[in-house]
Structure 1
Amino acid sequence: MPSQTYVQGQRIRAIGLTVTNCDRALNFYKEALGFELVSDITVEGQNHSDLEDVTEAKIRIVTLRLGDELIELMEYLNIQGKLIPSDSQSNDLWFQHLAIVVSDMDRAYAHLRSFPIEPISVSPQTMPSSNEASAGVRAFKFKDLDGHDLELIWFPPDKGKDKWHQNSNRLFLGIDHSAIAVSNTEQSLHFYCDLLGMQIDSRSLNWESTQTSLDNLPGAKVQITGLRPDQDSVGIELLDYILPGKGRPIPSDWKSCDIAKMQIELVVNDIEQAVEILRQNGVQFVSSGVIQFTDSASPDRQGCLVKDPDGHAILLIAE
């Protein structure tokens, strides 16, 4: 029987965001975006330091739910990480956003504007009919209180998952995907599809004035490739900017405690085998190897943090 050549990534369990203050971030995500508190724990010890490659890490982790999806707000209590560059743009390779699905874009936008967000988009934008893959989709990009990139997204009846169209009294429904800027689509597809076992779900070329207004990036033209893991969960979108070209790379000295760092948490069925496959393929590791968790507070049994070809963080976990 031939040996397996890729990791069986089952689902994206959560997206982790490093924040300057968990209480402030918690209030924002609850009040502005409708998230609900799941848990609030503090972890420390050598295994957590080894996992994130941060010396003597003491991390408060606040888990929030929106619909079926989870995010983790991570505050390093004893370390002050670097802030996100204030001049960040969508084509900078550290760009990563969460796409939060709404049932009514106009109401969601009006609600959001009462909070101290930093807009990226001029206003909510509607994808033109000339773009068959995303025609009629409405979107608005903005930054949270720490400068993390977020997006509100509304799907017309013929677009998006079925669950986004089920009758709901809620304004904010869940997280559809996390989008990341990449330098080379084929290079990223090798990592996410050939190695992590994800599938291509959609392809789109977005440009014209709509994309410029959405990204606040003159002449923006971006190749978008949507990916999904085996099980239904949050997807990943690869954003490959053709115009105005690739932005700045992720600095090599950025660490998990820096505010710009987000991590995609991917549940795998055999983490030891996964790590071996990734090592054989020259993937860059943040953790020294598979980290075992013995403390009852940790939601995972084992974990290993790696980087994709552009330096985005992927946390492999065994539940």
Structure 2
Amino acid sequence: MSLDARRVARIDFTATDLARTRRFYEALGFTAASGPTPVDGAELALLGRPDARAERLSMRLGAQEVSFLRFDPPGRPYPEGSTATDLWFQHIAIAVSDMAQAHARALAAGALPITRGGPQTLPANTGGVTAFKFRDPDGHPLELLFFPEGVGAPAWRARDVASPFLGIDHTALAVGDAGRVRHFFEGLGLTVGDATHNEGIEQERLDDVPGDRCRVVPMQTPDAPPHVELLGYETGTRRPMPPGTGPDDVWSTRTWIEVASLSGDGLTRAASLPNGVRAALIHDPDGHAIVLMENGGLA
């Protein structure tokens, strides 16, 4: 497959309670863009649940968008005992202007910490960012990122702003073989950035994984942020995607990527969505769901 990716258009999570989800993410600086509204049957069919019903809450932080789908009937909850190394792990990383303030607000909102000992400043050879990982009420992992001067996208260099939450820098996927998954995303038109090999006590505390070693491979689009990051863990549980994972399962996360065209690429599940945009569902080698949409708009 060879495509021409333009941008990561949005990230879709599956949620169980949209009112609770809205309150939590509003405390992290997100604003409701639309919804809850019914999800069209064409999209449900595309996702493989034509007989289900679902509603969507769309939220924005800066220029980036996430949405939350609640299915009826619901799927399975987020697996207990999940770690950052399990291959169903996918988080969004939120750039912040003030880590202390953002960390305090996340905890006050009910964030469930993953990171031990509060925010961790990683070594300079891995970017020198300060990071903190946590979970929302459904168990979805998130991360706060504070970039030092001269590091990160220009959009995150604002410091004197009303809210410490600036926008979504990337979504990161735990992968079994970073080289194989990199090749998959290159086929979609993403390009490889500078990879790092993260290890040490700060990395162990960040992920709460003893002996943590992780190869981080950024995959860029022309219009980043957000971009995609591949997390190739060398230690930890590293369990595969649960069998039969569907869009109604709470750990299921969908990355919507806008491409120039879907024509001629043999995408058998391509469908026309209500706004006339053509889309197709595919999966990376580890089972993470990707929705490709033709240049021209969002579903």
Q: TM-score range by the shorter chain?
A: over 0.9
**1:144 to partner: Cα distance:** 0.2
The percentage of counterpart residues that share the same residue type is 32
Is the CA contact 1:139–1:151 (under 8 Å) kept in the aligned structure 2?
Answer: yes
Which of 13, 16, 19 is equivalent to 2:15?
19
List aligned pairs for 1:3-82, cutoff 5 A. Answer: 6-31=2-27, 33-40=28-35, 41-45=37-41, 47-76=42-71, 78-82=72-76
Is the CA contact 1:80–1:257 (under 8 Å) kept in the aligned structure 2?
Answer: yes
The question of 1:115 aligning with 2:109 is answered yes
Match of 2:232 in 1: 240
**1:134 to partner: Cα distance:** 1.2
List aligned pairs for 1:151-190, cutoff 5 A. Answer: 151-166=143-158, 167-190=160-183
Distance 1:316 1:23 in 2: 28
**1:315 to partner: Cα distance:** 0.5
Match of 1:249 in 2: 240
Distance 1:104 1:80 in 2: 37
Match of 2:255 in 1: 264
**1:234 to partner: Cα distance:** 0.8
Distance 1:223 1:232 in 2: 21
Runs of 5+ in structure 1 lacking a partner? 280-287
* Worse-superposed segment, 159-168 or 61-70: 159-168
Distance 1:95 1:171 in 2: 25
**SS of structure 2 residue aligned to 1:113:** helix
* Worse-superposed segment, 253-262 or 161-170: 161-170
**1:43 to partner: Cα distance:** 2.1
Distance 2:144 2:105 in 1: 12
**1:24 to partner: Cα distance:** 1.1
- Tell me the TM-score normalized by structure 1: 0.88
The question of 1:202 aligning with 2:194 is answered yes
Distance 1:248 1:79 in 2: 26
Q: Which amino acid aligns with 2:198?
A: N
Is the CA contact 1:133–1:202 (under 8 Å) kept in the aligned structure 2?
Answer: no
List aligned pairs for 1:82-121, cutoff 5 A. Answer: 82-121=76-115
Runs of 5+ in structure 2 lacking a partner? none
Is the CA contact 1:181–1:238 (under 8 Å) kept in the aligned structure 2?
Answer: yes
Which of 275, 293, 296 is equivalent to 1:317?
293
Which of 295, 304, 307 is equivalent to 2:280?
304
Q: Which runs of 4+ in 1 moved over 4 A?
A: none
List aligned pairs for 1:260-299, cutoff 5 A. Answer: 260-273=251-264, 275-276=265-266, 289-294=269-274
Distance 2:86 2:16 in 1: 21
Distance 1:271 1:7 in 2: 7
Equivalences, count: 292
**SS of structure 2 residue aligned to 1:272:** coil
The question of 1:147 aligning with 2:139 is answered yes
**SS of structure 1 residue aligned to 2:109:** coil
Give the CA RMSD over aligned residues.
1.4
Is the CA contact 1:44–1:57 (under 8 Å) kept in the aligned structure 2?
Answer: no
Distance 1:94 1:306 in 2: 16
**SS of structure 1 residue aligned to 2:161:** coil
**SS of structure 1 residue aligned to 2:180:** helix
Q: Which amino acid aligns with 1:184?
A: D
Match of 2:123 in 1: 128
Distance 1:236 1:293 in 2: 24
**SS of structure 1 residue aligned to 2:195:** strand
**1:185 to partner: Cα distance:** 1.1
Q: Which amino acid aligns with 2:74?
A: Q
**1:306 to partner: Cα distance:** 0.8
